[in-house]
Amino acid sequence: MSRMHTNYRQNMRLLSSRSRVFWLLVLVAALWYLPSVLNNRMIFGYGLTDTQLLGVGLPQVNFALIAVMAAVALNLLVGYTGLLSLGHAAFFSVGAITSAVLGVQHDLPFPLVILASGCAGAVVGAFFGLPSLRLRGLYLLLSTLALHFIALYVFLTYQTHNYGPAGITYDAPSIFGWTVDNDDRWYTLLVILAGVVLLLARNLLAMREGRALVAIRDHDVAAGSLGIPVGRQRIKAFAMTSFITSAVGALYVYYLGNTSSDAYSLDFVINYFAIIIIGGLGSLSGSVFGALLWTLLPQALQTLSGSVSPDTFVVGNLLNNYQGQTANIVLGLLIIAIMLFKPTGLSGIWLGIKRGVVRWPYSS
C-alpha cells in the first residue's frame, strides 16, 4: 500500500519502505547482470537469440544511458521549471569544445575535464538564461535558438582552425589508471553516473529549491508573491541543467571517439524534446522511459525486420525496405497519441498500472 507523506522530511527520504529497498536491490542486481546477458546472449544458462533480445547490445545501452542523463537535464528545465529552450545541442557542443581544449590539447585528467566541461556549460547557461528574466514562452525559445546557432558557429570555427573537416578525435579516457576502452567499462562508468544524476535530481526536487522551480512553472506571479526569487531561480535552473548537459556532452564525445559540428543540429534538440514528451514532462522516470524507447526502438525494428517476411501485408515491406522511416513513423505516431490521450506520457501509464496493482481488487 502506498504511503502518504505528512512532512517534507518523509518526502525527502529515498527509501521510505521495505518494498522500495527490495526493488532497489532487484534493480541493482539486474543492472549488474545485464552486461553478461547482452555479451553472452544467455540468461541463467538459457541461450537467447538476437531476435529475442531485439538486437540490443551494450553499445545501444550505453547510448541510452547518455540519453537518460541529458533527458533528465532537459526535463528539469522544461518539465519542472517551465522554461523552453532549444539550446540542448549547444550545451553538448560546449562540453565537446571544452573537452577538446583541456583533454585533447592539454591532456588534463579525464575527471577534471568532465568537471570543467560542466562548469563551462553552467557559465554559458547562466549568461544565456538572462533573457528569461524578461522573456516568456515562444520569445524565450527564440532567444535560445540564437544560442544554438552561435554555439555551432564557434564549434565549426574551432574545429576548422585546429582539426580540419575530419572532426575532433578523442583518446580513450583514464580514471586514476583505469582506462575506459571498451563497452563493458563504459557501461560501468555510465550506469554509475546516470544513477548519480537521477539521485541528485530526485533530491533537488524534494528540497526547497526544487519545490520553488515547480512553483515558478505553475504560476510565477504567485511564486514571487510568496517570497520566491523568481529571476534568480530561473538563472539557477539554466546554470544547473547546463552543467549536467555539457558534462554529458563531454562524456558523449569521449564515448564516440570523434565528433564534428554536423552532429549538433536542430534535429538533435528535437530528439530530446521528443524523449521527454514521450516519457512524460515533469517526471524523472519519464526521462528514463523516453530515453530507453527512443534509443532502443530503431535497433529493435531493424532486428525484427530480419524475422518478418517481405511478403507480410504492409508491415513486411516497411520493416524490410524502410526501417529508418518506419521507426520515425512509429515514434511520431506515439508522440501524437500521447499528446492526445495521455499527456503524462509513459511515466503516467506506468504510474496508472502501479496504482492499479496496489489497489487491486478495488481499482477500476
As to burial, measured by CB atoms within 10 angstroms (0-12 exposed, 13-18 middle, 19+ buried), residue 46 is: exposed
Instruction: Report yes or no: 275 and 288 within 8 Å, Cβ to Cβ.
Output: no
Nearest partner of 80 among 287, 332, 291, 246, judged by Cα: 287
CA distance 78 to 92: 17
Residue pointed to by grid coordinates 503516467: 348
Give yes or no for residue 168 having a pLDDT over 50.
yes
> How confident is residue 153, by pLDDT bands cut at 50, 70 and 90?
very high
Instruction: List the single range of 78-82, 248-252, 321-325, 334-338 with lowest mean pLDDT.
Output: 321-325
Residue 363's CB is within 10 A of a number of other CB atoms, namely: 11
The two beta strands, 168-169 and 46-47, are unpaired
Give yes or no for residue 363 having a pLDDT over 60.
no
Question: Mind listing the pLDDT tens digit for each residue in 264-283?
Answer: 988 899 999 999 999 999 99
Instruction: Report yes or no: 298 and 323 within 8 Å, Cβ to Cβ.
Output: yes
What residues form DSSP beta bridges with 43?
46
Q: Which residues contact 205 (CB under 8 A, 6 or more apart)?
A: 80, 211, 213, 214, 284
The predicted structure's pLDDT at residue 91: 95
Question: In whole angstroms, how far apart are CA 291 and each of 107, 127, 230, 250, 338?
Answer: 32, 28, 30, 18, 15
The predicted structure's pLDDT at residue 206: 86
Nearest partner of 113 among 297, 259, 251, 216, judged by Cα: 251
Question: Mind listing the pLDDT tens digit for each residue in 293-331?
Answer: 999 988 888 887 777 777 776 676 777 777 677 777 888
Question: Mind listing the pLDDT tens digit for each residue in 13-27?
Answer: 666 677 778 888 999
The predicted structure's pLDDT at residue 1: 43
Higher pLDDT, 239 or 1: 239
Give yes or no for residue 47 having a pLDDT over 80.
yes
Give yes or no for residue 139 having a pLDDT over 90.
no
> How confident is residue 117, by pLDDT bands cut at 50, 70 and 90?
very high
The CA-CA-CA angle for residues 224, 225, 229, to 5°, reads 30
Instruction: List the single range of 17-21, 353-357, 359-363 with lowest mean pLDDT.
Output: 359-363
Cell numbers for 293: 524507447
Average pLDDT over residues 124-145: 88
Average pLDDT over residues 243-263: 95
Instruction: List the single range of 137-141, 202-206, 243-247 with lowest mean pLDDT.
Output: 137-141
The predicted structure's pLDDT at residue 4: 57
Fold of 53-359: ABC transporter involved in vitamin B12 uptake, BtuC (1.10.3470)
